[in-house]
């Protein structure tokens, strides 16, 4: 009889309402409407719960990542070594137990975008023979309070179940952009963010050394300063590993990895490409090789030549070539502007120019690509002054030939002001060691004027002495649209022997 209770209740309710309406005289219409609204709300809530369950089920079944080893990751030798040392706590369990070492609970990877943090996390799972579960910080934040905390619990539960099902003794959880949920708590109204972070902190505290399977949390961010101190302390993220931009040797290693499945021509010098791609991340270098292959396909060639790689570097740096139609006056002005940069660069830093181009890319109508002789991480005042002179060379050339400047120097001036600010904050100006809070707008204007006016005068004198180089190189650059570094240096050397009187003509 009890199995028919639901049907009896459903049949009894309308009979009761009819009795109240006919024999007692009670108006049951409001009650009926309220019942309908309540039923609809219950249905909606249950439907949302079912959809959320379906979404969690789908999310809990990600596609298994392709196996990744540390040998397949280039340019991060120091970061890989630090990570391997930390992961050995999961690999050599018996050894660390004898020494009484507590296994690490979390590893934080910090560094610019595209440096390989996600690849390192996948390689960590492969190295430790662990189950791997990945998520992004944005997956835990929604408008409904409690959803983020619930998903954190589900993530750790999923990692344990996945490891048990696969018969593995450990699991690696990777959370990309962890600053989304791990940001500093400021006591504001972001209760959902706080609850999600609190749940993450609780789960990390619950990872005991005797728990099986063991769970290692790897977080990645490019904004470490945004993270809450409770998340950064030892016992949660025990290791902080910096994943920086690769140096020249690292860039060559990355290029070798991405060139394995690509046919290269005899002139494809990867050492030269590694030198010309200073400041590139691993993702950008992968894009360089991919774009070079696309250029080779466009030219209907079966091998990737050096010029294809050179064009790929330009595209990754500045974007694809545009089809802007400039007037002859604009093209001449842009050509002189870029030659000003190139001449100044070759005089103050010989051999640094890799290419002078008149073709528009992105927002630039022309550009000079520099080839640093070696990677630098510390800068002296003379070096920075030379950098400022190179940036001012374009505007100085325009003043030399036209008597005025154009808006094309705006980006150069932004770069120059940034360098001056860096010099001042590093104590490399006549102001000595300063606190940025001491600097007023008037003081900044004064220091900018004192440095830039003197350097602009030096650049103008330097270019005026080499005026003939502009005349010789202008026709070639306008006609060919591109000058290689070697071709430009030949033009510069051929005109260095000209008499000074011929080069010092009156300014047009």
3-state secondary structure string across 218-272 = EEEECCHHHECHHHHCCCCCCEEEECCCCCHHHHHHHHHHHCCCCCECCCCCHHH
Which pLDDT band holds residue 393 (cuts at 50, 70, 90)?
Answer: very high
Is the pLDDT at 373 greater than 80, yes or no? Answer: no
How confident is the model at residue 433, as a pLDDT? 85
Distance separating the N- and C-terminal Cα atoms of the chain: 108
- Residue 187 zone, left/alpha/beta (φ > 0; ψ -120 to 50; rest): left
Cβ atoms within 10 Å of 178's Cβ, excluding its own: 30
| pLDDT value at residue 508 | 31
pLDDT band, residue 15 (cuts 50/70/90): low
pLDDT value, residue 340: 93
Q: Cis omega before residue 92 (within 30°)? A: no
pLDDT of residue 345: 92
Question: pLDDT (tens digit, 9 = 90+) per residue, 259-288?
Answer: 988 999 888 889 888 888 888 888 999 999
* Mean pLDDT lowest among 60-74, 112-126, 333-347, 445-459: 60-74
Mean predicted confidence (pLDDT) in 334-363: 87
- Whole-number Å distance between alpha carbons of 117 and 301: 35
pLDDT at residue 429, rounded to an integer: 85
Going by their DSSP bridges, the two strands 214-221 and 106-110 should be labelled as parallel
Per annotation, catalytic residue among 338, 385, 398, 399:
338
Q: Which of 3-12, 160-169, 174-183 has the least mean pLDDT?
A: 3-12
Cα–Cα distance between 248 and 75 in angstroms, integer? 9
User: Helix 29-59 crosses helix 147-166 at what angle (to 10 degrees)?
Assistant: 40
- Of 56-60, 364-368, 394-398, 435-439, the least confident: 56-60
Q: Is 338 marked active-site? A: yes
- The residue among 67 and 504 whose pLDDT is bigger is 67
Q: Are strands 353-357 and 367-370 parallel, antiparallel or unpaired?
A: antiparallel
* pLDDT attached to residue 507: 31
Under a CB-based contact definition with an 8 Å cutoff, are residues 416 and 388 in contact?
yes
Whether residue 499 has pLDDT greater than 60: no
Task: List pLDDT tens digits, range 159-172.
Answer: 888 888 888 888 88
Cα gap 149→155, rounded to integer Å: 10
Class of residue 310 by CB neighbours under 10 A (exposed 0-12, middle 13-18, buried 19+): buried
* Beta bridge partners of residue 171, listed in sequence order: 131, 215
In order, the DSSP letters of 431-447 are T-S--GGG--HHHHHHH
pLDDT digits (tens, 9 = 90+) for 214-247: 888 899 998 888 888 888 888 888 889 999 888 8
Q: What is the tens place of the pLDDT at every residue in 92-126?
A: 877 877 888 777 888 999 988 888 888 888 888 88
Partner residues linked to 133 by β-bridges: 173
pLDDT at position 12 is: 61
With contact defined as beta carbons under 8 Å apart, do 276 and 313 qualify? yes
Instruction: Kindly tell me if the per-residue pLDDT of 436 is higher than 70.
Output: yes
Residue 202's pLDDT is 83
pTM: 0.69
Using 50, 70 and 90 to split pLDDT, how confident is the model at 304? Answer: very high
> Which residue, 5, 480, 107, is CA-closest to 488?
480
Q: Average the pLDDT over 374-395 and give the result.
A: 87
């Amino acid at each position: 009889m009890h199995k028919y209770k639901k049907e009896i209740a459903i049949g009894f309710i309308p009979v009761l309402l009819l009795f109240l309406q006919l024999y007692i005289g009670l108006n049951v219409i409001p009650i009926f409407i309220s019942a309908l609204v309540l039923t609809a709300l219950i249905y909606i809530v249950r439907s949302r719960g079912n959809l959320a369950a379906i979404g969690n089920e789908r999310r809990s079944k990600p596609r298994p990542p392709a196996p990744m080893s540390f040998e397949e990751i280039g340019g991060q030798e120091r970061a890989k070594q630090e990570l391997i040392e930390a992961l050995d706590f999961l690999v050599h369990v018996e050894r660390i137990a004898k020494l009484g070492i507590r296994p690490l609970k979390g590893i934080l990877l910090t560094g610019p975008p595209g440096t390989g943090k996600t690849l390192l996390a996948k390689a960590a799972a492969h190295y430790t023979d662990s189950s791997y579960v990945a998520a992004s910080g944005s997956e835990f934040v929604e408008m409904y309070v409690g959803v983020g905390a619930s998903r954190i619990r589900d993530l750790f539960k999923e990692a344990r179940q996945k490891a048990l099902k696969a018969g593995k003794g450990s699991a690696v959880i990777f959370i990309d952009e962890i600053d989304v949920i791990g940001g500093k708590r400021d006591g504001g109204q972001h209760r959902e963010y706080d609850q999600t972070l609190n749940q993450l902190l609780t789960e990390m505290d619950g990872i005991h050394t005797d728990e099986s399977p063991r769970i290692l949390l790897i977080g990645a961010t490019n904004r470490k300063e945004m993270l809450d101190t409770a998340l950064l302390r030892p016992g949660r993220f025990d290791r902080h590993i910096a994943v920086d931009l690769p140096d020249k040797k690292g860039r060559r290693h990355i290029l070798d990895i991405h060139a394995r499945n690509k046919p290269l021509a005899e002139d494809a010098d990867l050492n030269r490409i590694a030198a010309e791609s200073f400041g590139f991340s691993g993702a950008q270098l992968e894009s360089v090789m991919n774009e070079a292959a696309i250029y080779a396909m466009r030219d209907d060639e079966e091998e990737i030549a050096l010029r294809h790689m050179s064009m790929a570097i330009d595209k990754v740096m500045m974007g694809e070539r545009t089809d802007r139609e400039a007037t002859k006056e604009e093209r001449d002005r842009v050509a002189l502007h870029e030659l000003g940069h190139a001449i100044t660069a070759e005089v103050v830093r010989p051999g640094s120019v890799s290419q002078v181009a008149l073709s528009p890319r992105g927002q630039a109508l022309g550009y000079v690509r520099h080839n640093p002789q070696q990677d630098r991480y510390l800068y002296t005042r003379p070096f920075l002054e030379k950098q400022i002179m190179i940036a001012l060379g374009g505007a100085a050339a325009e003043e030399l030939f036209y008597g005025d400047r154009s808006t094309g120097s705006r980006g150069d001036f932004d770069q120059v002001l940034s360098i001056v600010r860096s010099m001042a904050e590093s104590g490399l100006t006549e102001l000595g060691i300063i606190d940025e809070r001491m600097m007023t707008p008037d003081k900044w204007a004064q220091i900018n004027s004192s440095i830039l006016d003197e350097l602009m005068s030096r650049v103008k004198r330097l270019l005026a002495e080499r005026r003939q180089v502009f005349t010789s190189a202008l026709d070639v650059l306008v006609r060919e649209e591109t000058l290689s570094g070697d071709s430009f240096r030949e033009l510069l050397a051929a005109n260095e022997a000209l008499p000074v009187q011929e080069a010092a003509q009156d300014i047009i």
